[in-house]
Amino acid sequence: MIRKMMVSLAALAAFAALLASPAYAESGWHLLNMPPGVSELSKKIYSLHMLIFYVCVAIGVVVFGVMIYSIFAFRKSKGSIPDVTMVHDTRVEVLWTIVPVIILVAMAVPAAKTLVAIEDMRNTELTIKVTGFQWGWNYDYIDNGVSFFSRLDRQSDAARQLSSGIDPHSVPNYLLNVDHPLVVPAGKKIRLLLTANDVIHSWWVPAFGMKKDAIPGFVNEMWFKIDTDKLGVYRGQCVELCGRDHGFMPIVVDVRTQEDFDAWVKEQAAQSKPQQAAKPIEQAPATAQASNASAAAG
């Protein structure tokens, strides 16, 4: 008896040690739930999710409880005699129709409120046009004249090739890294205009709580506003099957302070300007004689 208890305690202790180990902390075992996210909206969504989850658990406990009880208490092998007259009970049936309706209404009200907030596209402070294509994203800061492509980073791309021999664990942020992340300021209501070049894609960062489809020939809108104390890098993926490399067009968003963001925009804009000035020079005459002549003249 004591021996059995000791063995159980030892097993429990070993399990607890396992849970506390760094190996477990880095593993995916504890990733069981949606993250609350980094914006007010994502946290609202998370609360709705938990609310409805708890309602389901409560109903489940009651219903499964009755089922399991019946399986044990009403077995023929235990001598149970069936009550063949029990075929109706209007009172109980009305109750278990009305009570679920009440529960559903109770869930629908906060859900509708949150939905209205999600669809409120007024007073946005920055607009970025996002174009999905096979297989990457194009980000166009239409207010600032900055535009670039964002594709799966080279290291991840090499590792993901069939039979590459490269261990995905050795690649930082495997499949969730890009060459040019989207940079945004925290604390501002940012509007994304989503469209696509070819097939339907969909833009999603789990920490932001929202996803929207990017449909060719149409423009969808969504907004997010990241809490000012949640600066950092957030990762997401395309979430609408878009062909062979649907799983390989991630999204990376770098949330910075307003000042850092402004500095970055200036830098990006400056980088693109010399390219425009360079064009007339590149249209220089083709022959060496002509270019010598123009160099002498200039």
- Per CB under 8 A, contacts with other proteins among 175-234 are 175-176, 198-200, 202, 204, 206, 209-213, 215-218, 220-221
220, 195 in Cβ contact below 8 A?
Answer: yes
Q: How far is the CB of 148 from other proteins (least distance, A)?
A: 23
Q: Is 34 exposed, middle or buried (0-12, 13-18, 19+ CB in 10 A)?
A: middle
Give, in degrees to the nearest 5, the angle at Cα 26 between 25 and 30. Answer: 55
**Among residues 152, 182, 190, 238, the one that binds other proteins under rule CB under 8 A:** 238
Give, in degrees to the nearest 5, the angle at Cα 46 between 42 and 48. Answer: 115
Are β-strands 146-150 and 136-141 bridged in parallel, bridged antiparallel, or unpaired? Answer: antiparallel
Q: How far is the CB of 142 from other proteins (least distance, A)?
A: 19
Within 78-137, which residues bind other proteins (CB under 8 A)?
Answer: 80-84, 86-89, 92-93, 96-97, 100-101, 104, 107-108, 111-112, 114-116, 118-119
3-state secondary structure (DSSP) of residue 276 = helix
171, 248 in Cβ contact below 8 A?
Answer: no
Residue 34 vs 233, nearer CB to other proteins: 34
Q: How far is the CB of 167 from other proteins (least distance, A)?
A: 7
**Binding-site string for other proteins from residue 263 to residue 292, where x marks contact by CB under 8 A and - marks none:** ------------------------------
Residues in binding contact with other proteins, number by CB under 8 A: 97
Residue 31 vs 277, nearer CB to other proteins: 31
Q: Segment near other proteins (CB under 8 A), from 236-244, 256-264, 279-287, 290-298? A: 236-244
**Among residues 7, 10, 17, 33, the one that binds other proteins under rule CB under 8 A:** 33
Nearest Cα residue to 126 out of 221, 268, 234: 221
Q: Is 192 exposed, middle or buried (0-12, 13-18, 19+ CB in 10 A)?
A: buried
Within 37-76, which residues bind other proteins (CB under 8 A)?
Answer: 44-45, 48-49, 52-53, 56, 59-60, 63-64, 66-67, 70-71, 74-76
Q: Segment near other proteins (CB under 8 A), from 1-9, 29-37, 146-154, 258-266? A: 29-37
| Bond before 135 cis per omega within 30 degrees | yes
Residue 136 vs 146, nearer CB to other proteins: 136
In degrees and rounded to multiples of 5, residue 118 shows phi and psi of: -65, -40
